[in-house]
Structure 1
Amino acid sequence: MENLANVKNGVLAALSFVFGAVTQALGGWDVALQVLIGCMSVDYITGLVVAAVFQKSNKSESGALESRAGFKGLCRKGGVLCLVFVAAMLDSALGVTYVRPAVCFFFIANEALSILENLGLMGVPYPQNFKNMLQALKDKNDGDLKGDGQNG
């Protein structure tokens, strides 16, 4: 029984190390990253519900759950985290602290819009003003990321 406890502690220590290293590489476990990961999780779960329960997904021909579409979604979310990693490295290289938060906020708005789309497919009502606000935030951050000189 003691051997099982040692194995469990070893696995937990290894997982803690891996998640700590990944979090540090992404710039730290601040509110921006927490909200982004939370939104990514909710978006993925609502996407699964739309496909599995409502069968209205626009990611598959039948609208039903499809493993390939789900894997593509996870790959896209991994790509987003890669961009957060690059932004964190840019912040470090430039000695600034605004690139990573801008990238996080852009993708938070993007994920929130996707959540609203999923909820709409489920028939959940929400105020149009909320969607407009998220779209405006996404557009503003998109402009800032493109470097088009817009400040507001």
Structure 2
Amino acid sequence: MGGIELGFLDVAHLYLFGGVKFLHLLLLLMGLDIITGIFKALKNGNLWSRKSLFGYARKILVLIVIIVANIIDQVLSLGGTLTFATVLFYIANEALSITENMAELEVLVPQNLAEKLKVIESTKHEKESLATEVLDELVGSNVDKKLKDGDK
């Protein structure tokens, strides 16, 4: 009976995170992103528990996506390719976020990279304003003002 339980744990471990390359690096980068994000929020004076909570939830969702990718990888016998690509994508995403936070904290960042981050940041704000405009049309009033008033 003890062998059955251990066998079940081995299968669960294999399908959850078994053999996922660079997972430890991703977890380290996630931690660094959280730390640099907190410092950035403190510097800008906008450390909100709700905003932080959503950030932590996103990190958990990333881990869920990796678990799903690993399950698909195991079922289709892809030899870890899909999971490895997924983890690499999120490693790049976390590294970019850390670099963006460091630039915001006025830590020296290479000039070319800083310019690219400004382009990415302006594109992100354009998408947010488009979403606000769509919500304005659907709701029929100024959603951005309501959101700001609701966060106080």
Q: Tell me, yes or no, whether TM beats 0.5.
A: yes
- The reply on whether 1:105 has 2:72 as its aligned counterpart is no
| Larger CA Rg, structure 1 vs 2 | 2
Amino acid at match of 2:38: L
**Misfit runs of 4+, over 4 Å:** 20-25, 128-132
- The reply on whether 1:93 has 2:75 as its aligned counterpart is yes
Distance in 2 (alpha carbons) for counterparts of 1:46 and 1:94: 38
After superposition, give the CA deviation of every residue in 1:45-100 in whole Å (9 maximum; x if it has no partner). 10001112x12xxxxxxx51100000000011111001000011011101112000
Q: Taking structure 1 as the reference length, what is the TM-score of the superposition? A: 0.61
**Percent identity between the aligned chains?**
37
- Aligned with residue 73 of structure 1, among 36, 55, 70: 55
Q: CA deviation at 1:28?
A: 2.8
- The reply on whether 1:45 has 2:28 as its aligned counterpart is no
1:16 is matched with which residue? Answer: none
Distance in 2 (alpha carbons) for counterparts of 1:23 and 1:41: 23
Q: Which has the higher contact order (CA 8 A, sep 6+)?
A: 2
Q: Taking structure 2 as the reference length, what is the TM-score of the superposition? A: 0.61
Structure 1 residue runs of 5 or longer lacking an equivalent are 1-19, 56-62, 133-152
Q: Is the 8 A contact 2:21 2:84 kept in 1?
A: no
Q: Is the 8 A contact 1:43 1:111 kept in 2?
A: yes
Distance in 1 (alpha carbons) for counterparts of 2:88 and 2:103: 22
Distance in 2 (alpha carbons) for counterparts of 1:99 and 1:80: 14
1:3 is matched with which residue? Answer: none
Amino acid at match of 2:95: A
Distance in 2 (alpha carbons) for counterparts of 1:23 and 1:128: 43
- The reply on whether 1:28 has 2:9 as its aligned counterpart is no
